[in-house]
Amino acid sequence: MFATRQKISLAATLLTVWLCLLLVAAPAARGAEELALPDIGNPSGNVLTPAEERRLGRAFMRSIRNSLPVIQDPLLSAYIQSLGERLTSANEDAAGNFEFFLINSPQINAFAGPGGYIGVFAGLITTTESESELASVVAHEVAHVSQKHLVRTYDAVNRMSLPAAAVAIAAVIIGAATDNPDAAVAAATGIQAGMMQREINFTRAHEEEADSIGIKTLAAAGFDPTAMPVFFSRMGKASRLYDNGKLPEFLRTHPVTSNRIADAYGRAGDFPYQQRRDSLAYHLARERLRVMAFNNAAEGIAFYSKALADGRYRNEAAHRYGYALSLTAARRYTQADELLTGLLQKHPDQIEYVAAKAELEKLSGQAALGVETLKRGLSEHPGNYPLSIYYAQALLDLGRPREVKPILERQLNGRPDDTLLYKLLAQASGDAGEKTQGHQYLAEYYYHTGALNSAVMQLEIALKDRTLDYYESARMAARLKEIRAEEQDLEARDR
């Protein structure tokens, strides 16, 4: 039964306040002696059932996709997911599935949502000076999830329906993690100061716990555990260059104090120093994001040609890769091909180089050659997500949709929330003449991007197909009923 409007409004306000404090409260000071973490409850406690937490997380993610520019680039998505999975494997409390995704924004920040959904802004990756620094922030966010900080906060107002709660959580995170935090703070009006102070103390404990477990996770995953205090220190120095009203988003949501830095150094000192070389994938991801941020291809060409000529780069191969991408975008295919050929000679199995070569071949009028390049890549890396996506897109461009569906459907088995897969499957089904299935896939695409009304319309169209058998029709009708119920719940919340 849906909550009344009054209950939803009150719960949303309380949840907004508590989550806002969770995101922006500074950690408590640490004394000279070792600080014992406060007991804030067993993270394995069942605040929500696993099924409820998954539902809350998925609804949260739909709201995020509907509000922020989530990057759908297969290579970048695969990299951040791979990094995240390495960290979750090293965190003994990180049970269940985690989904890591990137936000196309120069802001320096990251956030954790319920159900294991962790967002990383592009600006964080391009700002970090090592992969361990990036991992330190992600490990901190993983700890928020593994210790169920958000879920335990949600428990205080669990009279809300899950879809409404998910929207409230997303609204607060967007307000606090972007350059519009006032939207989240505004809901605090009218809450007693005593309640707010109690929650501030609670969220300080959350931050301490996330730092501590994050550093432990870094060490267990083979990253440099001192990377967290090093990054904090660099951010702390940067904060002196800004007025309080113009702080980078990371400094608003992860306040850096001298005590916090000292605390992190102290905890990192408990682990042996690990000198670790950054992966090539990290450097390639940084340059791919940099290329995406340029205003035009000429800007990228000027940047990379000068950096390579002056020897000013962190990784030469990655800079050559960025240069090749910029040259390709400028249609200077011969120069780009020379660069990519040289890169492939040294690393013939590097996914990023294979995909860039195939893209160049397609754009230069050799689409069939590009398909063969991707096919060879998949034979070397069976089931690889980025190559599967690029191969499917290339086949669609050549008018071969029936070959595409089995490739994408295999990927969908392990990525049931992937919006890009649903979008491509909708196109492949439509191009293959399977219009009803195309509407079903398009409905799922709209649903997972938060456009519930459009999802309902697509299913209604699909159900008009008189050739559907009983079981398929019943399954689709049940899905339609489920989405309509969620849509009505959100409408009730907004009234």
Average pLDDT over the chain reads 81
Rounded CA separation 345/342 (Å): 5
Single pTM value for the model: 0.82
6-7-9 Cα angle (round to 5): 65
* pLDDT class of 6 with cuts at 50, 70, 90: very low
- CB neighbourhood size of 163 (10 A): 25
Among 27, 42, 25, 23, residue whose Cα is nearest residue 264: 27
Burial class from Cβ neighbours inside 10 Å (0-12, 13-18, 19+) for residue 240 reads: exposed
- CB neighbourhood size of 79 (10 A): 25
Q: Which of the listed ranges 18-22, 272-276, 315-319 does the model predict with the highest average pLDDT?
A: 315-319
Q: Which ranges constitute the DSSP H helices of 221-311?
A: 227-239, 249-253, 258-268, 280-293, 297-310
Residue 145's H or E segment, with its range, is helix 131-146
Q: Residue 47 in contact with residue 155, Cβ under 8 Å?
A: yes
Tally of domains within the chain: 2
Rounded CA separation 81/95 (Å): 16
Residue 103's H or E segment, with its range, is strand 99-103
Same domain, 263 and 409: no
Domain presence at residue 487: yes
Domain presence at residue 419: yes
- CB neighbourhood size of 414 (10 A): 10
Q: Between residues 93 and 344, which one has the greater pLDDT? A: 344
Among 126, 55, 117, 36, residue whose Cα is nearest residue 81: 117
Domain presence at residue 210: yes
Rounded CA separation 59/57 (Å): 5
The residue-averaged pLDDT of 465-472 equals 92
* pLDDT class of 175 with cuts at 50, 70, 90: low
What's the longest Cα–Cα distance across the chain?
A: 75
Cβ neighbours for 354, distance < 8 A, ≥ 6 positions apart: 344, 373, 374, 376, 377, 387
Q: Residue 424 in contact with residue 445, Cβ under 8 Å?
A: no
Domain presence at residue 169: yes
Q: Six-digit token pair at 327?
A: 């040259």
Same domain, 118 and 261: yes
Domain presence at residue 287: no
Among 144, 147, 151, 119, residue whose Cα is nearest residue 18: 151
Give me the amino acid identity at 54.
Answer: R
| 83-92, 197-206, 407-416, 460-469: segment of lowest average pLDDT | 197-206
The residue-averaged pLDDT of 256-264 equals 74
pLDDT of residue 257: 65
Rounded CA separation 261/494 (Å): 42
User: Percent helix, strand, coil in the chain (nearest 5)?
Assistant: 70, 5, 30
Domain presence at residue 260: yes
Domain presence at residue 388: no
Asked if pLDDT for residue 465 goes beyond 60, the answer is yes
215, 244, 268 — which closes off a domain?
268
Rounded CA separation 287/236 (Å): 25
Rounded CA separation 210/200 (Å): 15
The residue-averaged pLDDT of 302-313 equals 95
The residue-averaged pLDDT of 456-478 equals 95
234, 250, 268 — which closes off a domain?
268
* pLDDT class of 13 with cuts at 50, 70, 90: very low
Rounded CA separation 285/290 (Å): 9
pLDDT of residue 192: 38
Q: Between residues 7 and 142, which one has the greater pLDDT? A: 142
Place of tokens 């990251």: 110
Residues known to be catalytic: 141, 211
Same domain, 261 and 403: no
Q: What is the DSSP string of 385-401?
A: HHHHHHHHHHHHHTT-H
pLDDT of residue 383: 94
Q: What is the CATH number of the domain that holds 471?
A: 1.25.40
443: three-class secondary structure by DSSP: helix
Q: Residue 452 in contact with residue 490, Cβ under 8 Å?
A: yes
* pLDDT class of 59 with cuts at 50, 70, 90: confident
Asked if pLDDT for residue 196 goes beyond 50, the answer is no
46: three-class secondary structure by DSSP: coil
- Domain, as residue range, for 415: 399-495
Rounded CA separation 74/389 (Å): 7
The residue-averaged pLDDT of 25-35 equals 35
pLDDT of residue 60: 85
Looking at the DSSP assignment, which residues form a beta bridge with residue 70? 103
Rounded CA separation 287/296 (Å): 15
* pLDDT class of 9 with cuts at 50, 70, 90: very low
268, 301, 316 — which closes off a domain?
268
pLDDT of residue 168: 61
Domain presence at residue 441: yes
